[in-house]
Structure 1
Amino acid sequence: MLFVEDTIRALFRKYETSAKSVIRRNIQIVHNSNQINPSIQEHFKRKYELIIARIEDNQRFLNWLLSEPGSDVVEKHNVDSHNSTPALSSTTTTTSMLETELTQDEEEMFPSEFDDVLMKENNTSSDSSNDESYQSGSSYHDGSSFSYQSSTSSSSPSPKKSKSSSKRGVRWGPNTIIDKVLNLFLLVVRDWSSEGLDERVQSYNPFYASLERYYPSVEQRRDIKVICPGAGMGRLPYDISMLGFHTTLNENSLFLIVALKRIFSGGVNDLNSQTLYPFIHQTKNITDEHTQTRRILIPDIAIGRKDEPGANMSFAYGDFFDIYSPQVSPALTSLSTTTITSNNTNINANINANPNTSNKFDCICSSFFIDTVENIFTLIERFHLILNVGGLWMNNGPLHYHHDALTSFHLNSTELLDIVRSYNFEILEYKLIDCQYTKNKDSLFQAIFNCVWFIARKIK
């Protein structure tokens, strides 16, 4: 696992090089267009100077986000850095400055031991890759170069194996690296910035209100076990834990897991202390440079403050079906989980702690998750397996299935509820909720998912 995490960190540290290689192409196009008015050329020169500066800021943010939990060696990100822009004397100078960066055809090599990890990350992609409604990429948590956060067969190349792939490993080009970074940025913004508040109200608040209604006793909540499968950057399970519940965060994407460890390491105690520019690579439906280059500050809350009453969270990193397989014993499950409380300052302090390793839960909160799996019948069966009798399954998300209908089974909302009932669930609530996902509020394109919200109780 440490090898994989180190490799992912190495991949993301190539972001700046990869992003500048893409910008270099645009600079060259403008430079070669002799008929363009000089004032317009000057406009593009200033624009790309600004974008290059923001790319460098993003790399600093990435270096911090991907640093080892508890590490103090990473440069502190200056929230005022948006005021500084490197001067480029001419377009020619710009091209020269970037000539050592990756070209569009050059690709980064990673060891063959990493092949299965990277290929699995991309095999989750949906069939709507250029669907800007997601504004992201290949699954809700694995996006592509802007379109998603959506995912699927994105316009940017998926990692492909070279002719000698069995010996040399998976090849990753600049676009693929940028896509992974963009997906990460968008999820960080959604979960940990004031920018994402509206989305969280739409997507997460129904869970909070329902949990408080069905479990009114705060004292008893510590014994109520809740799991959030496919939890992305973790805000939903974190907030649920702050309501007093014993909450498990499950996430499968290794690219997000590395960032999650930093977020929950105790190193994000200062409000709005980190800066990123998540929209600089969005080139569609943009009104002006501000729309593309505006900054976002995180976090909007002090995560894990020592004066908090105490969140009780466990982390189950890995494939949901593997961790909660009928064949997996509780002892094996404990190897995949770690526990943290808000009074800890470093997740590493509890990396080997034993959470409650029982595979049974009192409540499942699935948000933007059920349409990401290939076999929804297997998912419902597994939810039934891990839920205690009388336990609740709360769901909020679209039926924007990520896998092609040729390889997965697509249910409409009526069929979904009928299937849920057939697995000995009683539907307590059902409605449709309008939700947005990793949006740029200033974009000319705004998509709304009509999400399926229901609460089901396991009756036997």
Structure 2
Amino acid sequence: MFPLDKGARGDIKVLVPGAGLGRLAYDLAKRGFTCQGNEFSLFMLFASNFVLNKCRGINSLRVYPWVHTGSVVVLDSLRVYPWVHTGSNTLSTEDQLTDRLPSLMWTLLTCQHTLSFTMAAGDFLEIYTSADAFDCVATCFFIDCANNIVAFLQTIYNIIKPGGYWVNLGPLLYHFADQPGEPSIEPTYQHIKSIAIGIGFTILEEETGVNTSYTQNPNSMLQYEYKSVLFVAQKKTNRKTEQQTEETEDTEEGGGSR
């Protein structure tokens, strides 16, 4: 889809809506793309701001994801215990206390001159209204967060440049399903695929039943997995623009208009 040469990717603009803590957007920026993450949740934004801008270095942040006692600061390391009360399906205390150390230094303060990476806070539908703004939109566990998933698809299509790509991975766990007072449109994947094609996308690659987990203890005796969908779709090139380009090239080759 895009140049393999990392140095040639700087002009390719990628958007990651529903970026959460920003890891996917950061990884794309590390691979040379100009990338922007978008997030609506204040909780996610607070956490991502801390991780992206305040971490002091590799291994400075100790996260204990299987415990839930709050947080304590010890020896300049921040220890987070989010799941101490998760006793069910736990093999050992050690599993609850396993610490996860960041494997890389991703503080923006140390790489701001080498990465083209930004985060934007706000509602995806309200912020991104300019047509043909991005070469690619990458959505991961995102599109089922909408009250109206069709509006998400229309916005994604609108902001992608003609010939650009939409890459999606995730299930359809509609967040507003059965919530009182919340409108919710919950089409099947086949309907979503038909809507995307009707809007103007071409499905280039598609894989269903992709096993994906989500924030769980890998050592737990109980594991949850989604059978996600992974696809790559391309926004159709504007035929009128193509014809105008071809006519211009023909005119130049012919030495002028006749």
Aligned residues of 1:324 and 1:359 also touching (Cα < 8 A): no
2:127 aligned with 1:323, yes or no?
Answer: yes
Task: Name structure 2 gaps, 5 residues minimum.
Answer: 67-83, 239-258
Q: Matched residue pairs, number?
A: 215
2:69 aligned with 1:274, yes or no?
Answer: no
Name the counterpart of 1:375.
148
Q: What percent identity do the matched residue pairs reach?
A: 33
CA distance in 2, matches of 1:361, 1:372: 21
> In structure 1, what residue type is equivalent to 2:148?
N
Name the counterpart of 2:94.
290
Aligned residues of 1:229 and 1:365 also touching (Cα < 8 A): yes
Distance 1:456 1:395, change over 3 A: same
Q: CA deviation at 1:218?
A: 2.9
CA distance in 2, matches of 1:263, 1:287: 30
2:222 aligned with 1:449, yes or no?
Answer: no
2:225 aligned with 1:422, yes or no?
Answer: no
2:176 aligned with 1:387, yes or no?
Answer: no
2:181 aligned with 1:404, yes or no?
Answer: no
Name the counterpart of 2:118.
314
Q: Which has the higher strand share?
A: 2
Write the mapping of 1:65-84 to structure 2, written as runs, cut at 5 A: none
Q: Which has the higher helix share?
A: 1
CA distance in 2, matches of 1:307, 1:233: 17
Q: CA deviation at 1:303?
A: 1.2
CA distance in 2, matches of 1:451, 1:437: 11
Write the mapping of 1:59-458 to structure 2, written as runs, cut at 5 A: 213-265=1-53, 267-279=54-66, 280-292=84-96, 294-304=97-107, 306=110, 310-325=114-129, 360-404=133-177, 407-432=183-208, 433-458=210-235
Q: CA deviation at 1:402?
A: 1.4
Deviations 1:57-79 (Å, cap 9, x if unpaired)? xxxxxxxxxxxxxxxxxxxxxxx
> In structure 1, what residue type is equivalent to 2:223?
Q
Aligned residues of 1:394 and 1:455 also touching (Cα < 8 A): yes
Deviations 1:270-312 (Å, cap 9, x if unpaired)? 22222232221313222332233x1323321111484798111
SS in 2 for 1:316: strand
- TM-score normalised by L of structure 1: 0.44
SS in 1 for 2:100: strand
SS in 2 for 1:296: coil
RMSD: 2.1
Q: CA deviation at 1:422?
A: 0.5
Range that drifts further, 311-320 or 402-411: 402-411
Q: Which has the higher contact order (CA 8 A, sep 6+)?
A: 2
SS in 2 for 1:417: helix
> In structure 2, what residue type is equivalent to 1:381?
Q
> In structure 2, what residue type is equivalent to 1:419?
I
Aligned residues of 2:169 and 2:230 also touching (Cα < 8 A): yes
CA distance in 2, matches of 1:303, 1:374: 33
Aligned residues of 1:390 and 1:457 also touching (Cα < 8 A): yes
